[in-house]
Amino acid sequence: MKARIISTGYFLPERILTNKDLEKMVDTTDEWITKRTGITERRIASEEEASSDMGTRASQMAIENAGIKANEIDAVICSTITPDHFFPSTACLIQHNLRIKDAYAFDLSAACSGFLFALNTAESMLLSGKADTVLVVAPEKLSSITDWKDRSTCVLFGDGAGAAILKKDESGNGIQSTYLKSDGAFGDLLMVPAGGSRMPASPETIEKRQHYLKMKGNEIFKVAVKSMIKAAKHVIKDAAFKPEDIKALIPHQANMRIINAIEKRLSLKDEQIFVNLDKTGNTSAASIAISLGELESSGGLKEGDKVVLVSFGGGLTWAGIALTW
């Protein structure tokens, strides 16, 4: 018995912010951003669009693709670092938007690894009999915590949402192996300093722009490469996948140089690596969820295909999941 993703969905807001647009906002160039990150444009949500709205749209697509009624879902797990509010949870808001009545919903926080952590939780709930149908949704409105005056971060992030519906499956297809890790010792490398109980919002924290995301990018870079390779290798071995048989490795879409390093170290080919970073930027928890949604919608996944998901993010957190479609 395995937990299996039976459908996916994704949503990207309409507005496109290009590198050229950013040249007019901060001291940067299209050339720097493209060369150092691989990003050429990203989507930005409108003022009226919150994470729950984008998460609802992605979930509606996943529900439609699954051919189920929303009310068949008995648990909603939402992973986001940009919730609509501290509480109620974004999961509860999405549950209500989808008119799911007889269910439980909660948020899970693991930054860019959130979608994988949530899939792992969904797997445990399904295999332990605590749920029959689980919706995992990962919406992010990173533009709401981006400091648009900080060129070292504002060129990196984008908005969007991805979703997946999971059920138990006896065919043998589904999640084959999971690997989750975190290390809080490096929490300060990627964080939003103010607005929580450590440093509640005040005129001073606003003045110091402490409600925005801060990242020591070059310190994270090396840890990200190392950890993602380790996570990918672990699940590939544990699932007994041969690297050449992997249909798609979907890495967290943060930086093309990180993705290239993973491809090289795992001796994979370009066509085995899924990339949409150039068009989406880094969308944190939504990144792998959107990628999976895009890949499935484009007909890129067939039953039995071997897929590897690998993430890295704030916490620090990192994870790998190997699955057969």
Q: What is the DSSP string of 102-126?
A: S-EEEEE--GGGHHHHHHHHHHHHH
Whether 112 sits among the annotated catalytic residues: the reply is yes
The residue within the footprint of ligand UT7, chosen from 312, 321, 322, 323 (CB under 6 A), is: 312
Residue facing ligand UT7 at closest CB distance? 217
Q: Does 155 bind ligand UT7 (CB under 6 A)?
A: yes
Judge contact between 7 and 66, C-beta under 8 A: yes
Angle at 282 between CA 281 and CA 288, to 5 degrees: 110
Looking at 89-97, 128-136, 158-166, 250-258, which segment touches ligand UT7 (CB under 6 A)?
A: 250-258
Q: Does 254 bind ligand UT7 (CB under 6 A)?
A: yes
For residue 31, give the 3-state DSSP assignment: helix
Contacting ligand UT7 within 73-92 (CB under 6 A): none
Whether 211 sits among the annotated catalytic residues: the reply is no
Round to the nearest angstrom and report the end-to-end CA distance of the chain: 14
Nearer Cβ to ligand UT7 (155/232)? 155
Point out the catalytic residue in the list 112, 120, 154, 255.
112
Nearest approach, Cβ of 128 to ligand UT7 (angstroms)?
A: 31
Contacting ligand UT7 within 208-247 (CB under 6 A): 217-218, 220-221, 224
Judge contact between 81 and 320, C-beta under 8 A: no
Q: Does 279 bind ligand UT7 (CB under 6 A)?
A: no
Alpha carbon distance 175, 208 (integer Å): 44
Number of chain positions touching ligand UT7 (CB under 6 A): 21
**CB burial readout 220-231, b (16+ within 10 A) else e:** beeebbebbbeb
Judge contact between 282 and 254, C-beta under 8 A: yes
Q: Tell me the two tokens of residue 145.
A: 């915590």
Q: Does 186 bind ligand UT7 (CB under 6 A)?
A: no
Point out the catalytic residue in the list 234, 252, 255, 276.
252
The residue within the footprint of ligand UT7, chosen from 6, 16, 23, 32 (CB under 6 A), is: 32
Alpha carbon distance 167, 4 (integer Å): 5
Whether 85 sits among the annotated catalytic residues: the reply is no
| Residues involved in catalysis | 112, 252, 282
Which stretches of the chain bind ligand UT7, using CB under 6 A? 28, 32-33, 36-37, 112, 151-152, 155, 190, 217-218, 220-221, 224, 254-255, 258, 282, 312-313
